[in-house]
Amino acid sequence: MDYRDIPAFVARLRECDAIAAMALEFAILTAARSGEVYGARWSEIDLEARVWTVPAGRMKAGREHRVPLSERALAILENFHDAMTCDLVCPSPRGGRPLSHVAMAKVLQRLQIYGATPHGFRSSFRDWAGNETHFPREIAEAALAHSVGNAVEAAYRRSDALEKRRALVEAWANYCELEAGSCCEAGATALIIQIARIGRPSDKPGRIARFPRISSDARGWARAEIQEWSNLIMTVGYLWNSYWISDCRIRCTIRPRVWRR
């Protein structure tokens, strides 16, 4: 998925009341592989230090990987922690075992997002970091648990630049909040774009499912349209409120005279 479509997608993702949906958002925010998220355990999470330490045995490269956690990632973990039933961070609803390895893919399928995979969000993160930020390439690659440089350079570089990567993932989480922080705006924008496309709303959810692939120009037009309607509603509300107050004043002045009669 294009990184420019991530905020709108995350907004829709948060409307899904499912463990797999929250697990997918957590994977997006941490730029982790889906298998690492499926197997995450509470013993690997340090909420106070805001770090998730994935052991070497569960990493593709066979090296321990420390993942800094953004504020939103911590909020997701708190939701998981409130419903904790075992050591698994995001267990299957059936309990006692990890989510199915296709659980995140099924979330995409239910949202009718085609051509995207859970693993592909790592590429979206990398494209965003390279195109939209000034973070060094080494920091972005380290966030993906990729090796940088040759064996000699790797041997001398012993730090994992955790705090620099923390700033990177926090910036990524803020970027994902551009539209995810206001699901109502995202839903209204989708409705306006749908009306512009087919002339009337549809009761088929699949029509709105194509929303994340809409161009930035269309989204900008939709936001402007929403603002115009908001201003109109506020004006009508002000006029109605003024009329109601005036009507009350008239009634208060007339009724005593009628009573005296």
Number of CB atoms found within 10 A of residue 255's CB: 10
State the Cα–Cα distance between residues 105 and 144, nearest whole angstrom.
20
Is residue 14 flagged as an active site residue?
A: no
> Among residues 122, 126, 165, 166, which one is catalytic?
122
> Among residues 119, 137, 249, 255, which one is catalytic?
119
Is residue 119 flagged as an active site residue?
A: yes
Is residue 257 flagged as an active site residue?
A: no
Is residue 81 flagged as an active site residue?
A: no
Which tokens belong to 154? 């790797």
State the Cα–Cα distance between residues 203 and 221, nearest whole angstrom.
23
> Among residues 94, 134, 156, 251, which one is catalytic?
156
State the Cα–Cα distance between residues 261 and 246, nearest whole angstrom.
24
State the Cα–Cα distance between residues 9 and 177, nearest whole angstrom.
10
Is residue 122 flagged as an active site residue?
A: yes
State the Cα–Cα distance between residues 223 and 18, nearest whole angstrom.
29
Torsion of CA 132, 135, 137, 139, to 10 degrees: -130
- Site of tokens 């730029």: 31
**Which residues are identified as catalytic?**
33, 60, 119, 122, 146, 156
